Structure 1
Amino acid sequence: MRIRLGCEMRYAFPYPVPMVVMLNLHPSCADALEASDAIVTQPAVPVETYRDSFGNLCGRLIAPAGAFTIGTDGIVADDGLPDPMAPDAAQHRVEDLPAETLLFLLPSRYCESDLLADEAWRLFGDTPPGWERVQAVCDFVHAHLAFGYEFAHRDRTALDAYQGGRGVCRDFTHLAVALCRALNLPTRYCTGYISFIGEPEPHPAGDFCAWMEVYLGGRWHVFDPRNNAPRIGRVMVAYGRDAADVPLTHTFGPNPLVGFRVWADAVAVIDHLDAEAAEAPEEPLPPQTMTTRME
């Protein structure tokens, strides 16, 4: 299966503003790229590429004053299978964990695992350790939080989401990450594309989404507390401790976003939609403009 994926963001800057963007696929996906997802801007400006401390690809640029568009458009090969499952994957003792996973046991800005530790053990202390315990966390978060785009808020933490009972995909993920870390499960926050391939029609042409990866049985495994079901066509852009590490865009100044589109769909499906997409209305913007966009 071949999936075309990309995004387009349109701004109206009052003056030149430096930006750091995470729009390219994660280096682990490089071998699957059939058509480059290079960052394209209009007007054209130089983009310096570098890797952050987690190995994510970042682009650094200065957006000029006035109308400015930035985006990507690539094609990736996909096996067409849902997220793999490994119900027998075991939980490691902390003393047996690889050193590089220990960072993902610690509290972070949006994932206060220390403050949620008592609740985590009260809720899940009697569940079998390993895959079943992580799935129990995902089931709880999926049922506990009400989803709504109108609930998006850049300052909401895992504890806030737990107490407030609502949020968007990043809040579902933050809460599940924090609970898993409190249970001594190394867990990292991921962001990227999620397709609707295999989902009932009608559906949109993909979206950005947050999910998590948990270290079990010697490797990282995908869990998605928002959708709480395996999906086809999940493609990672970046991972970190939480959304603060992996914003799609970070502007060092005003961020007047005026248009936003995302697509991630099978090539055979999306090719005949190109003409229609050019005329399609823009996606509604979130209820507030954020200096840092963190899906």
Structure 2
Amino acid sequence: MLIRLGYEIAIDCPQPMPVISLLDVHKDRQHDIKRQTKVLTSPFTACDVYEDSFGNSCRRYMAPQGGFQILYDALVEDSGEAEPCNPLAGETPVEALPPETIVFLLGSRYCETDHLSDLAWRLFGHVPPGWARVQAICDYVNNRLSFGYGYARATRTAAQAHEERVGVCRDFAHLAITLCRCMNIPARYVNGYLGDIGVPPDPAPMDFNAWFEAFLDGRWYTFDARHNVPRIGRVVVARGRDATDVPLLHSFGPHKLTTFKVWTYEQESYPVRPPARGIDRTLTTPLIG
């Protein structure tokens, strides 16, 4: 299966300022990219590319005063299968966890384990450890929170989402991650592309999505407390402790978001005509270069 994906993001800056983007397809999926444009900016702005401590690709720009636009379009090959389920996967005792997973047991900016630990053990202490426990957490979060784009708030933490009972995909992920960590299950935040593939189309404008991964039986498994069903066509962009580690854009100064477009959908075949150079600036039909 081929997935067409990309974005157009533009900001307006009252003064020149550094901007870091975490928008590249994760290195785990780079080998699946069959065609892509370069990451284009308007006006052209040089960037430094580096890898952060979580293995995410970051681009650092010096955005000019005025409008600054970032564009990208790609064609990615995907298995067409939903992410795997393994109901027999068990938990790894903390003393046997790989050292690099320990950080995903700790509290973080949006995941306050100290506030929710007692609740987690009351709710899930009796659930068989492993896959069943993580799934029970997803079921609880899915039932507890009501989803709505109007509920978005950048400062909402997991504990606040639990009390307010509303949120967007990042809030579902933060609450599920926190409850997993409280139960000594390493869990990490993931953002990326998730199109309406194999499900009824969502009439809302496309956006990047957030979900999480839990460490069971020696590997990371994908879970999604918002949709709470296995999905087809996820493409990871970045992973971290929570949304603090993986902002789409991190600006070091004031700015106004003026354009935000994301696309991800199944494409049945490669374009018949020779690929155009660059991207159609209207971005109504992104072109592979």
TM > 0.5: yes
Further displaced range: 150-159 or 34-43: 34-43
In structure 1, the gaps of 5 or more residues are 281-295
Superposition pairs of residues 231-246 of structure 1, within 5 angstroms: 231-246=231-246
One-letter code of the match for 2:26?
A: H
> Which residue number corresponds to residue 223 of structure 1?
223
Q: Deviations over 1:107-148 (max 9, x none)?
A: 001001121100000011100000000000000000000111
Superposition pairs of residues 193-212 of structure 1, within 5 angstroms: 193-201=193-201, 203=203, 206-212=206-212
**How far off is 1:266 after superposition?**
1.2
In structure 2, the gaps of 5 or more residues are 273-278
In the alignment, the residues of structure 1 paired with residue 186 and residue 53 of structure 2 have an alpha-carbon distance, to the nearest angstrom, of: 17
Q: In the alignment, is the contact (CA less than 8 A) between 1:5 and 1:73 conserved in 2?
A: yes
> Which residue number corresponds to residue 67 of structure 1?
67
> Which residue number corresponds to residue 83 of structure 1?
83
Q: In the alignment, is the contact (CA less than 8 A) between 1:193 and 1:206 conserved in 2?
A: no
- Alignment CA distance shift 1:60-1:137 (3 Å): same
Further displaced range: 214-223 or 263-272: 263-272
> Which residue number corresponds to residue 94 of structure 2?
94
> Which residue number corresponds to residue 284 of structure 1?
none
- Alignment CA distance shift 1:180-1:129 (3 Å): same
Q: Deviations over 1:256-293 (max 9, x none)?
A: 10111000111239979x99x8559xxxxxxxxxxxxx
Q: Deviations over 1:37-91 (max 9, x none)?
A: 6321011110110000011000000111112211221111100011111111111
One-letter code of the match for 1:4?
A: R
Query: How many residue pairs are counted as aligned between the two chains?
Result: 278
- Alignment CA distance shift 1:37-1:100 (3 Å): farther
In the alignment, the residues of structure 2 paired with residue 56 and residue 187 of structure 1 have an alpha-carbon distance, to the nearest angstrom, of: 17
Q: Deviations over 1:6-58 (max 9, x none)?
A: 11111222221210000101111111111236321011110110000011000
Q: In the alignment, is the contact (CA less than 8 A) between 1:24 and 1:38 conserved in 2?
A: no
One-letter code of the match for 2:86?
A: A
In the alignment, the residues of structure 2 paired with residue 145 and residue 202 of structure 1 have an alpha-carbon distance, to the nearest angstrom, of: 19
> Which residue number corresponds to residue 50 of structure 2?
50
Superposition pairs of residues 17-166 of structure 1, within 5 angstroms: 17-36=17-36, 38-166=38-166
In the alignment, the residues of structure 2 paired with residue 10 and residue 62 of structure 1 have an alpha-carbon distance, to the nearest angstrom, of: 14
Structure with more relative contact order (C-alpha pairs < 8 Å, separation 6 or more): 2
In the alignment, the residues of structure 1 paired with residue 202 and residue 173 of structure 2 have an alpha-carbon distance, to the nearest angstrom, of: 26
**How far off is 1:192 after superposition?**
0.6
Q: Deviations over 1:165-216 (max 9, x none)?
A: 1010000000000000000000000011111111124656853110000000
One-letter code of the match for 2:229?
A: A
Q: In the alignment, is the contact (CA less than 8 A) between 2:196 and 2:202 conserved in 1?
A: no
Per the alignment, in what secondary structure is the counterpart of residue 253 of structure 1?
coil
One-letter code of the match for 1:217?
A: D
- Alignment CA distance shift 1:216-1:27 (3 Å): same
> Which residue number corresponds to residue 287 of structure 1?
none
Please tell me the root mean square deviation across aligned C-alpha atoms, in Å: 2.0
Q: In the alignment, is the contact (CA less than 8 A) between 2:2 and 2:269 conserved in 1?
A: no
Identical-residue share of aligned pairs (%): 48
In the alignment, the residues of structure 2 paired with residue 270 and residue 8 of structure 1 have an alpha-carbon distance, to the nearest angstrom, of: 22
One-letter code of the match for 1:133?
A: R
Per the alignment, in what secondary structure is the counterpart of residue 115 of structure 1?
helix
Q: In the alignment, is the contact (CA less than 8 A) between 2:8 and 2:262 conserved in 1?
A: yes
In the alignment, the residues of structure 2 paired with residue 129 and residue 96 of structure 1 have an alpha-carbon distance, to the nearest angstrom, of: 15
In the alignment, the residues of structure 1 paired with residue 74 and residue 205 of structure 2 have an alpha-carbon distance, to the nearest angstrom, of: 14
Output the TM-score relative to the length of structure 1: 0.90
In the alignment, the residues of structure 2 paired with residue 20 and residue 202 of structure 1 have an alpha-carbon distance, to the nearest angstrom, of: 30
Per the alignment, in what secondary structure is the counterpart of residue 237 of structure 2?
strand
One-letter code of the match for 2:196?
A: F
In the alignment, the residues of structure 2 paired with residue 265 and residue 50 of structure 1 have an alpha-carbon distance, to the nearest angstrom, of: 28
Q: In the alignment, is the contact (CA less than 8 A) between 1:6 and 1:73 conserved in 2?
A: yes
Output the TM-score relative to the length of structure 2: 0.91
